[in-house]
Amino acid sequence: MRDNEENSLPAGVAPEGKIEVPAGGLVLPDSEKGSLVNAWSLSLVGAVVVLTVLCTVWPDPYLEILCFVPEGLLVTFEVTILSIICAIPLGLITGLGRLSHNRVINLIASTYVEVIRGIPLLVQIFYIYYALAKFLQVSGLTSAVIAISFCYGAYMGEVFRAGIMAIPKGQTEASRSLGFNKVQTMVLVVLPQALRTIVPPVGNECIAMLKDTSLVSVMAMPDLMQYGRSFAAKSYLYFETYTIIALIYLIITLLLSKAVSILESRLNYYDKRK
């Protein structure tokens, strides 16, 4: 049973040990192609130009909308950053738990992943904020961070598991035969190597997380989306408001995806020298 699990690679891992970009995630810009005209720069320049043109040619209402939402952007960032800080360690622990040979730990980690993956994030947010309020009350921000990091912790657990499993078994065997114990082997030998395959998909998850924070507006959290909805509800300018909101989200995620790709190319330093 256990051997079987180890032999079959989890979904998302190609045999060469490269992790494929999960469906629905952003395509990370390929920094190795140095050309100026690629999908990433085209999207960014397009978004910035459209935003600038809209705000200069029709300051009423576009500039007005743009000036209305910055406070919401701060809340969006706050929720995203706190969630990332909580989700990455949670993902690592879950990933290690899923690989553990201890049946109890393995079962707990696997059950957590199965349960959380099977419940939509919106339902989880409602559940933590409104349903659990019967027993314990947490603020909007705390609920948002708990819901998002629990959800993404489960997703990231699978990414960490895949990344660790992609490291050839020989590495562990060599390390153990040189006298490292299990923890040392994992921390000093396996994880540093796994990091290179793990970082791009984890970066992707973080970007997806930023986009999913727009769901917290259902608990009246004043994030970017909530400010947009509030403006639209007051002015009845749905097209104009959501155009601006979409452009802002797009520009932020494009910049973040660039950051992830730079980080990725730094980690692939040794690959390039080959």
- Which positions lie near another protein, rule CB under 8 A? 130, 133, 137, 139-140, 218-220, 222, 226, 229-230, 232-236, 238
Contact 247, 47 (CB under 8 A): yes
Q: Among residues 82 and 218, whose Cβ is nearest to another protein?
A: 218
| Cβ-contact 269, 192 below 8 angstroms | no
Name the minimum Å distance from CB 148 to another protein: 18
What is the rounded distance in angstroms from the CA atom of residue 10 to the CA atom of residue 198? 14
Contacts of 240 (CB under 8 A, 6+ apart): 61, 62, 65
Distance CA(136)–CA(145), nearest Å, equals 16
- Of 22 and 222, which CB lies nearer to another protein in the complex structure? 222
Q: Do residues 165 and 10 touch, judged by C-beta distance below 8 A?
A: yes
- Whole-number minimum distance, CB 46 to another protein, in Å? 25
| Contact predicate 224/248, CB 8 Å | yes
In angstroms, give the least distance from the CB of 249 to another protein: 18
Minimum distance of another protein from residue 220's CB (angstroms): 4
Q: How far is the CB of 129 from another protein (least distance, A)?
A: 9
Nearest to another protein of 218, 251 (CB atom): 218
Closest CB to another protein among 113 and 225? 225
Q: How close are the terminal C-alpha atoms of the chain, in Å?
A: 38
Instruction: Tell me how far, at minimum, the Cβ of 244 lies from another protein, in Å.
Output: 15
Nearer to another protein, 214 or 226 (CB): 226
Residue (of 78, 81, 76, 110) closest to 93 by Cα position: 110
Q: Measuring CA to CA, how many Å separate 221 from each of 87, 150, 229?
A: 20, 18, 12
* Nearer to another protein (CB atom), residue 180 or residue 242: 242
